[in-house]
Amino acid sequence: MSIVTEHVRKIIARLPRTPQMTYEFQNTIYRTSTDLLDAIAYEWLTAGGLNGPDVIKELQADKTDAELARECIKGWGLDEPFDGSDDEDPPRSWMDERGITEEDLVEAFNQYREE
pLDDT at position 86 is 57
Task: Write the pLDDT tens digit of every residue in 96-105.
Answer: 888 899 999 9
pLDDT at position 5 is 60
Please give the model's pTM, rounded to 2 decimal places: 0.75
Q: Which residues pair with 28 in a beta bridge?
A: 25
Q: How confident is the model at residue 17 (pLDDT cuts 50, 70, 90)?
A: low
33 or 12, which is more confident?
33
**Domain residue ranges of the chain, discontinuous segments joined by +:** 20-114
Residues contacting 101, CB < 8 A, separation 6+: 95
Task: Write the pLDDT tens digit of every residue in 20-47.
Answer: 567 888 888 888 889 999 999 999 999 9
Q: What is the rounded CA–CA span in Å between residue 113 and residue 17?
A: 38
Residue 18 has pLDDT above 60, yes or no: no
Query: Residue range 41-56: average pLDDT?
Result: 93
